[in-house]
A and B are shown apart, each in its own frame.
Chain A
Amino acid sequence: MKDIDKWKKNADLENLSDDEKMILDEMGLSGSSRRKFLKQVSAASLSIWASSYFTSELFASNMKDLPDNPQVLLNEVKVNLRVNEMVKPLTLDSRMSLLDALRERLALTGTKKGCDHGQCGACTVIIDGKRNLSCLTLAATCEGKEITTVEGLVKHGEMHPMQKAFLKHDGFQCGYCTPGQICSSVALLEEAKNGEASYVTEDLKKIEENLNLSEEEIRERMSGNICRCGAYNNIVQAFKEVHSGDDEMPTWEFATQEQMEKAKKA
C-alpha cells in the first residue's frame, strides 16, 4: 500500500492538482474538512474516493508511480502509447491487448474487461476518432495512434456532455459497461455527423451528413455495447439529449390520488 500512503501524504500537504481540488470542492470538502476526510477514510475507501482522482496526476507527471514493469517479460516489444494526449513509452509482451496495457500497465482502469472476446463492448475506446474494442487490439499495433479512454473525455476537470447526460439520465447502474457505452456514444456522434450508414439505415442512397438518428438507429448503433443491468432506455435518452440538444423527459411517474381512488372503486 505504498502508493496509497504517498497519495495520502500528498493530500495532507494539499499538494493537489486543480482538477482534484475541484472534485473535492464538488463533494463539499474544503480546508480542514478535506484534510480530515482524507485522513479519516480507510486505505480502501481512499482508493474509492480519492485514489481515482490521483491516478490521472500520477499518469501525467510521475511515471515511476505506475505499476512496476513485470519482473519477467516475454516477447518484448517497445511501443509508445499515446493515450489521452500523453505519450507513454512501454515495454510489453507482444501478446498484450491494448485493454490489458491500459488497465494493468497504465493504471487506466476506466476501460473495462467484460468478455475479452469482442462480444460485449465494455472495453470500447476511441482510436483515431473511431470506436474500437481494445480487447481485440494488440497494444503493440497502436504506435502512433491517438487513443482516448473514458478518463480522457474529461477536459480540464469538465466532463464531456455525454458523461453529464449519462449521469443525468441514469444511463447505468453498476457502472461497469458505462465507460464503453460512453466512448461508443461519443464516437457515434461523429458517425452521425459524417453520415455513416448502419444496419437499419432505410435507404442507403439517401445518406447525408449530419444525420438526425431515429431511436431505432440509436438502438441499433448502440447494440454492440451490452448492459446487463438493462439501462438501455436511459442510455438512449442520454444519447438523444446530446445528439438533438432537446431535453428528454423521464418515463416514470407516480400514480395520482385520483387514479388510486378510481382503481379501488372500479
Chain B
Amino acid sequence: MNTVKESGVGQAIDRVEGHLKVTGKAKYASEFPVENKVYAQGINSTIAKGEIVSIDTSQAEKQDGVLKVITYKNAEKLKTFDKEMTAIGTDSIAPVLQSNKVNYYGEYVGLVVAETFEQAQYAARLVKFEYKKDPSAVIKFEESRSKAYTPNNGSNYSRGDMQKGLSEADMVVEQTYNTPIEHHHPMELHAIIASWENGKVMAYASQQMVDDATIAISSTFQIPKKDVRVVSAFVGGGFGSKLNLERHAIMAVMAAKIVGRPVQVTVTRTQMFTNTGMRQQNEQKMRIGAKNDGTLTALSHETLSHTSTNMEYQEPCGMVSKMLYNVPNNEVTYKLIPMNIQTPFAMRAPGEATGSFALESAMDEMAWKLKMDPIDFRIKNDTQTDLHENRPFSSRLLVECLRIGADKFGWKDRKMEPGTNRKGNWLIGYGVSAASRNSPYQKTYSKVILDLEDDGKVHATIQMDGTDIGTGSYTIIAQTASEYLNIPVEQVSVELGDSNFPVTPGSGGSWGAASYCNGARAACENAVKGLKDNRNIPQDEDVALAELLKRNQIKTFEAEGMAEPSKEFEEYSVFSFGANFCEVWVDKDTGMYRIKRMVNVGSAGKILNPKTAYGQIIGGLTMGAGMVIAEKTQVEPNFGNFITRSFADYHVPVNLDMANIDVVFLPEEDKIANKMGIKGIGELGITSVAASIANAIFNATGKRMRDLPITPEKLIEAEVEEGVSLS
C-alpha cells in the first residue's frame, strides 16, 4: 500500500477510477439500470428556415411498440425565451418543440417514444413533415457580411492609439486567418435516462456541470430546483459540448412525463453535428506593427463570426491578443452574423484555440519579415503586466517555457530560410508558438465523511457535484484528501456528479482542478480543525486522524468546506503559460505531411498529478493538431445542412496522425492563484498548437497557410510567400 508521500498531491499515481474504466464497469449516463425504461428518437428538420405546415404521424403511430409521437402540436408547454437573441449560457433553458417555426436545418421537430430502440428509430423515419420554406435563410457566411452586427456584450476593447502604433512601425503584417466550423465530438454520445417520480425529475445525464443542468431542467419545466436530481457519475468526454443542457435532455424529461415511464435518449452521431453545439466559423483579421528591432507598436484583432438567429454566442478570439504581449496600442473587435445554423457554444479553449492560431501565425509572419528568430521576437515583447487588465500577472514564466522548450526540442538546428532542410522528397520544418490561458477558480463546496474502521484506519469519503470528464477529477481530489488528511489514497473514496452533493462550478473552462481540489482541501481542513477544537487540541499539534477520532470518542465525523477566490486573486491576472514546438515533414510533390514530433512546455501552477496532467496536454495537442490536419464541418450552400455528418467525413485525429510528444512542466509556485497553487491545464494544451504546426509548414515549404484545415490540396495549390527563395 502507498504511503501519503507516494499518493498525495503531485504524485504520478494511476487514476483511482481507472480500474472501472479499463474493465468496462464505469457507468456512463445511458448505462444505469433503470427498470421499465423505453427509448426515444429525435427527429430533425430538413429545412434551414420556415414553418411546419403539416405533420402526419399516423404511419409511425400504427407501428407496434410505438408509445407516442411528440411534436409541437402535443408537446408540454415549456418556458421560452423572453427576448430575442438571448445570450447562451451554461444554465440556459432549452425549450424544444414549442412552435411550428424552424430556425435551422437539423433542429428537433419531433420525438418518437417506443418500447425498443429499433422501433423508435424506424418509426421516426415514418413521421412525415411538410414545410413552407422561407427563402431568406442565411446560410452562406461569405455572402452575409453585411448582416454582421456588433454583439451587445461590451467585448470590444482598445488601448492606446492603433493608427499611431501602425505609423510608428517599420514593418506591418496585415493578414486574415480563417477557421471553419468544428465539432467537439466527445466519444460518448450525449445521453440521458429521465424519469418522474412523485412530481420529481430523476435524470442520469451526460453533463459537465451538474448544478447548471438541474437549473436548466427546473427552469425549462418551471418546477422547483430541489425537485430535479441529475447524476453524471462518468462523462465520456465533453470538450464544452456538455456544459449546457441540450434539447434532447428536455425532450426525454418531457417524454417521460407524457408516457409515464423512464425514457432513454441517446443522440446519434449525426445529431452530434446539429444538436449539441459547435465551434463556429471565424474570420480573423490581424494587423501587427513592429520596429526593426522587434518592438511591437500595434496589434489589432478583428473577428467576424456567426451566431444563430435566436441566440447569441460570441467566441472571445481576441482574448490572447489583449494580454500576451507588451504592445501599447491594441484593439480587439467582434462582429457576428446571425445565421440559420444552430447556436455555437464553447469548444475546448474557446477564444484561445482559434484566436491564438491567428495571433501566433501573425507573430511568426512578422518575425520572418524582421528576419528575427521567432522565439527572440516573442521574448523581446514579453511583459510581466497584463496591459489589458492593467495589473500584474500572479506569475508568468513564458520566457522560461520558450527557452527550455527550445533546448529540449533542438531549436538551434532550425533553418531560418524555409525549404532548406530537406531529406529526399521531404521538406522539414520547425515551428513554435506561445500559449496562455486564463486560470479561473470558482466557489466550491465539498463534504468529507470520516469513518474509523475496526482495523484502526480512517476511511474518508469526499462528496461534491463536480464531474470527471476524463480530466482526472476523481484522482486529484483523492490525492488532495490524502494530502490534507494525511492518509494514503487507498483510504479515500471520491463520489462525484450527483446534484445531491455539495455544489461546485462543474467541469469546464480549466477551473475544475483548482475549484474541486481547494473545495476538498477546505472540507478536510475543517474536519481536522473541528476534531481538534472539540477536544481543545492545539491546531499546530501533529495528531494522526485515527487518533483524533479516538480522542473524540467517535467513529464517524463529517465536515463541509468551501473555497473561493481570495481578494488578492482579484488584484492579479492569473494565467497559465506555455510554448509549443513542432517538427513537420511535408512531401514536396503531394503536399502530404506528417507531424513528426512535438514538445510542449507548460507553466500551469502546481501539477497535481503529472500522469493525468500529461494526458490533458497531449489531449489538447491532439485536438489542436486536428484543427490543422482535418477538422472542418462543411455547410451545404443551398440547403444549409451539414455535408459532413459522420466520422467518415468529419475527420478527427487517429492514432497514426500523432507523433511522439515530450512534455515539460515547469515547477511553479503561485499561491496568489489559490492556496494550493493550482492553475488548471485542460485547455492550455490546445492553445496555439495549430499555429506551431502552420509555422512549421511555412518553415518547411515557404507557404503561409492561413485557412484551416491545411489539407494537402490546399498546400499544393498555395503560392510560396513573397521573399522566400526556394532553391
User: Which A residues have a C-beta under 8 Å from some C-beta of B?
Assistant: 1-4, 23, 26-33, 36-37, 40-42, 44-45, 47-49, 51-53, 55, 67-68, 70-74, 93, 95-96, 100, 103-104, 107-117, 119-120, 122, 149-151, 153-154, 159, 163-164, 166-168, 170, 172-179, 182, 200, 216, 218-220, 222-236, 250-255, 257, 259-260, 262-264, 266
Contacts and interface: CB of A to CB of B under 8 A. Distances in A.
Contacts of B655: 218-220, 222-223, 225, 227, 232, 235-236
Given A173-B619, A176-B186, A72 B119 contact: yes
A29 B266 CA distance: 35
Contact of B26 (A52, A149, A154): A52
A2 B185 CA distance: 34
A32 B664 contact: no
Given A229-B237, A230-B623, A255-B601, 7 more contacts: A70-B65, A174-B186, A223-B655, A233-B661, A254-B664, A264-B399, A266-B403
10 contacts: A29-B459, A33-B455, A42-B498, A72-B116, A112-B236, A170-B611, A174-B237, A175-B236, A223-B655, A250-B610
A47 B27 CA distance: 7
Contacts of A253: 662-665
A170 B233 contact: no
Nearest to A32: B454
Contact of A51 (B14, B33, B657): B33
A31 B662 CA distance: 45
Interface stretch (B15-23, B93-101, B417-425, B712-720): B15-23
A68 B33 CA distance: 11
B36 A68 contact: yes
6 pairs of A and B residues whose beta carbons are closest in the complex: A110-B24, A230-B622, A176-B236, A174-B470, A175-B21, A173-B470
Given A74-B65, A251-B663, A255-B666, A52 B25 contact: yes
Given A31-B453, A51-B27, A234-B615, A96 B662 contact: no
B258 interface: no
Nearest to B472: A173
B33 A4 contact: yes
A260 B647 contact: no
A264 B32 contact: no
Given A113-B266, A236-B655, A250-B12, A228 B185 contact: yes
B27 A117 contact: no
Contacts of A104: 117
Contact of A259 (B23, B115, B407, B457): B407
B269 interface: yes
B647 A111 contact: no
Contact of B470 (A27, A45, A175): A175
A2 B37 CA distance: 13
A216 B493 contact: no
Contact of B23 (A31, A154, A220, A222): A154
B607 to A, nearest CB: 8
B337 interface: no
A59 B662 CA distance: 44
Interface in B184-239: 184-189, 204, 231, 233-239
A264 B382 CA distance: 13
B237 A151 contact: no
Contacts of A51: 27, 33
A41 B495 contact: yes
Given A70-B65, A234-B618, A179 B236 contact: no
B404 A227 contact: no
Nearest to B272: A115
Contacts of B486: none
Given A114-B189, A223-B655, A252-B664, A47 B233 contact: yes
B495 A45 contact: yes
B24 A111 contact: yes
Contacts of B652: 226, 228
Given A173-B615, A231-B619, A254-B664, A48 B118 contact: no
A157 B113 CA distance: 39
A228 B493 contact: no
A192 B32 CA distance: 37
Contact of A170 (B23, B117, B614): B614
B23 A159 contact: yes
Interface in B1-43: 1, 12, 14-15, 17-28, 30-36
B611 A250 contact: yes
A49 B27 CA distance: 9
Contacts of A176: 28, 186-188, 236-237
